[in-house]
């Protein structure tokens, strides 16, 4: 599959290069709903749209679609409009804070927003109001973003789908009887339905990438520690915070705002982050990429496998040197599960003791499984983690990128996790999602991007993984693919 074609220079999606030729008086909801953050910033600068008009339009749209999708746990009408008016006044005075000033954003309900509920998807915390901002919220507010509300999550982010005890399940805009994935299912559903351009998710085992894949949008997890985690609940040990967007450039814009060290988070990387959006203007070059069609021999739906293979060929067309290869490692998923269970029990021991009957069944089961772990079991998992990280470092000495499926199936009906994939029995809890958690173990940058649709019209995504610290190379590869095979113009009928 090696290819010597010249690399392409990324200039952004076609719509982002066009002037946004609408006026606040004549722009329709549909026109505003599907604008990227880049396009909104351009419209604000040109005076053709205002933050207040955009915010009012999106709030109206959210009010109409959320009863079906359940993408939001809390919609902050008053706060969003106050922030939009403040941004509009700054723009009027020529005091624009930057490209995100006045641009709407949503925050997953595992992250604190001062004055708003942080339920963490749990009935136990239904009435808890955050007293301060998470570091990501703080940085987005400093950039001038307008926070529309808090998006849905399973309790403490513990499921790869988005159901909790607070209300009905979150639904996929492409087919509302199907799951959007999880645990950032509300964020991905909102992105896919045109409920704002920027959405913050968290990812402790695939929780940005799985729902982005199921909902046909872009999800990005940076190197562990690139985005500080102060003010985040949920799985603490392996968790990342990152963007879910409809374009690669918008994800880069958000990363420019939220990445960087924080003294409150000892795991945050101390160095100053690169300028992500600026780097997209540089050509892709000719990176060496490994295409791994069946990671760890996990079964994959034939339609998904075919579309991911086609995506690998597309990367070859774009100038990548693509060869079929994969790292020689033991299956890391049991290692991730053991460490995750121990970590969750350590954090949630008191919660289990005090509120057992108020917790969702899957949360109780997770914490009880963690309580049963022995010290030798946990110690063996730590040794396996070291071996896996070493093997992946050796592999990425030879390759710049790893191309593989994002999920083993497309979105499935709510409450009907598959127990058979491609004729093979799988664990119903995790068999559909075998490819994401390993890169939480390593902390490498990983992204999922739409690569096609099944015969039933459901999105399928390819996952790209890069070396530690190389978000720039990963974003450039994603942007080149997006420019060659645009996905944002295809939208769910519900939206």
Mean per-residue pLDDT for 359-375?
A: 97
Q: What is the pLDDT of residue 4?
A: 34
Q: What is the pLDDT of residue 234?
A: 60
Q: Distance (Å, rounded) from C-alpha 408 to C-alpha 391?
A: 23
Residue 155 per-residue DSSP state: G
Beta carbons of 74 and 150 less than 8 angstroms apart: yes
Q: What is the pLDDT of residue 1?
A: 54
Q: What is the pLDDT of residue 22?
A: 56
Where are the strands (E) in 131-272, listed by range?
146-151, 198-203, 218-221, 240-245
Residue 279 per-residue DSSP state: H
Whether the link from the prior residue into 102 is cis, omega within 30° of 0, is no
Q: Which of 50, 108, 184, 230 is catalytic?
A: 108
Q: Distance (Å, rounded) from C-alpha 165 to C-alpha 206?
A: 22
Residue from 274, 345, 293, 287 nearest 315 by CA: 287
R_g of the chain computed on alpha carbons? 21
Number of Cβ within 10 Å of residue 264's Cβ equals 11
Q: Which of 36, 50, 134, 183 is catalytic?
A: 183
Residue from 43, 50, 41 nearest 85 by CA: 50
Q: What is the pLDDT of residue 5?
A: 30
Beta carbons of 326 and 368 less than 8 angstroms apart: no
Give the model confidence (pLDDT) of 457-494 as tens digits: 999 999 999 999 999 999 999 999 999 999 998 999 98
Residue 36 per-residue DSSP state: -
pLDDT above 90: residue 258: yes
Query: Which residues have C-beta within 8 Å of that of residue 263, sequence separation ≥ 6?
Result: none
Lowest mean pLDDT among 2-6, 193-197, 296-300, 429-433: 2-6
* Max Cα-Cα span within the chain: 67
Mean per-residue pLDDT for 178-203?
A: 99
**40, 457, 453, 303: CA torsion to nearest 10:** 160
Task: For 93-135, give the DSSP string.
Answer: TT---STTTT-EEEEETTB--TTSB--TT-GGGTT-B-SS--H
Residue 453's SS3 state is strand
Number of Cβ within 10 Å of residue 457's Cβ equals 12
Q: Distance (Å, rounded) from C-alpha 374 to C-alpha 371?
A: 8
Give the model confidence (pLDDT) of 307-341 as tens digits: 999 999 999 999 999 999 999 999 999 999 999 99
As a three-state string, the secondary structure of 365-378 is: HHHHHHHHCCHHHH
Query: Which residues have C-beta within 8 Å of that of residue 119, sequence separation ≥ 6?
Result: 73, 109, 125, 126, 128, 150, 166
Half-sphere exposure of 121 (CA within 13 A, CB side): 34
Q: Which of 134, 184, 207, 230 is catalytic?
A: 207
Q: Distance (Å, rounded) from C-alpha 76 to C-alpha 118?
A: 13
Mean per-residue pLDDT for 256-285?
A: 96
Beta carbons of 237 and 225 less than 8 angstroms apart: no
Give the model confidence (pLDDT) of 135-144 as tens digits: 999 999 999 9
Is residue 134 among the annotated active site residues? no
Q: What percent of the chain has pLDDT over 90?
A: 92
Is residue 183 among the annotated active site residues? yes
What is the domain partition of the chain in residue ranges?
A: 14-334+373-414+424-484
Q: What is the pLDDT of residue 19?
A: 47
**Helical residues (DSSP H) of 185-236, grouped into ranges:** 185-192, 209-215
Residue 40's SS3 state is helix
What's the chain's length in residues?
495
Domain 14-334+373-414+424-484 has CATH 3.90.1300.10: yes
Is residue 108 among the annotated active site residues? yes
């Amino acid at each position: 599959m090696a290819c010597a074609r010249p690399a392409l220079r990324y200039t952004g999606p076609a719509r982002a290069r066009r002037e946004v030729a609408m006026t606040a008086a004549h722009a329709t909801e549909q026109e505003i709903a599907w604008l990227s953050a880049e396009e909104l910033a351009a419209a604000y600068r040109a005076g053709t749209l205002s933050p207040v008009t955009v915010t009012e339009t999106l709030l109206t749209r959210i009010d109409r679609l959320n009863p079906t999708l359940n993408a939001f746990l809390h919609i902050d009408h008053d706060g969003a409009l106050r922030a939009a008016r403040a941004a509009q006044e700054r723009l009027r005075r020529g005091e624009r804070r930057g490209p995100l000033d006045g641009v709407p954003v949503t925050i997953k309900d595992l992250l604190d927003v001062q004055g708003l509920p942080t339920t963490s998807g749990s009935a136990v915390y239904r009435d808890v109001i955050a007293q301060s901002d998470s570091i990501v919220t703080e940085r987005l507010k400093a950039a001038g973003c307008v926070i529309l509300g808090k998006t849905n999550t399973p309790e403490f982010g513990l499921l790869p789908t988005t159901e909790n005890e607070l209300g009905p399940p979150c639904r996929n805009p492409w087919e509302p009887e199907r799951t959007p994935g999880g645990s950032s299912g509300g964020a991905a559903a909102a992105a896919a339905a045109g409920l704002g351009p920027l959405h913050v998710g968290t990812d402790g085992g695939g929780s940005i990438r799985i729902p982005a894949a199921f909902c046909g949008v872009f999800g990005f997890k940076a190197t562990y520690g690139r985005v500080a985690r102060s003010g985040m609940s949920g799985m603490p040990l392996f968790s990342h915070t990152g963007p879910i967007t409809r374009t690669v450039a918008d994800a880069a814009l958000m990363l420019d705002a939220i990445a960087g060290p924080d003294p409150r988070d000892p795991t945050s990387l101390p160095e100053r982050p690169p300028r992500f959006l600026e780097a997209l203007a540089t050509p892709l070059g000719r990176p060496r990429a490994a295409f791994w069609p069946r990671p760890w021999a996990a079964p994959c739906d034939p339609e998904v496998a075919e579309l991911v293979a086609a995506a690998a060929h597309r990367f070859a067309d774009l100038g990548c040197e693509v060869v079929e290869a994969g790292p020689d490692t033991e299956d890391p998923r049991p290692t991730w599960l053991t460490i995750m269970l121990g970590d969750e029990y350590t954090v949630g021991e008191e919660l289990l003791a005090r509120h057992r009957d108020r917790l969702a069944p899957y949360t109780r089961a997770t914490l009880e499984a963690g309580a049963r772990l022995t010290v030798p079991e946990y110690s063996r998992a730590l040794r396996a983690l070291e071996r896996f990280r070493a093997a992946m470092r050796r592999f990425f000495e030879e390759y710049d990128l790893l191309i593989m499926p994002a999920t083993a199936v497309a979105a499935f009906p709510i409450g009907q996790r598959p127990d058979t994939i491609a004729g093979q029995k799988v664990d119903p809890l995790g068999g559909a999602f075998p490819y994401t958690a390993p890169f939480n173990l390593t902390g490498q940058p990983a992204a999922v991007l739409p690569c096609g649709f099944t015969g039933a019209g459901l999105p399928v995504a390819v996952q790209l993984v890069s070396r530690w610290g190389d978000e720039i190379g990963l974003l450039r590869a994603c942007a080149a693919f997006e420019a060659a095979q645009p996905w944002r113009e295809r939208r769910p009928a519900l939206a």
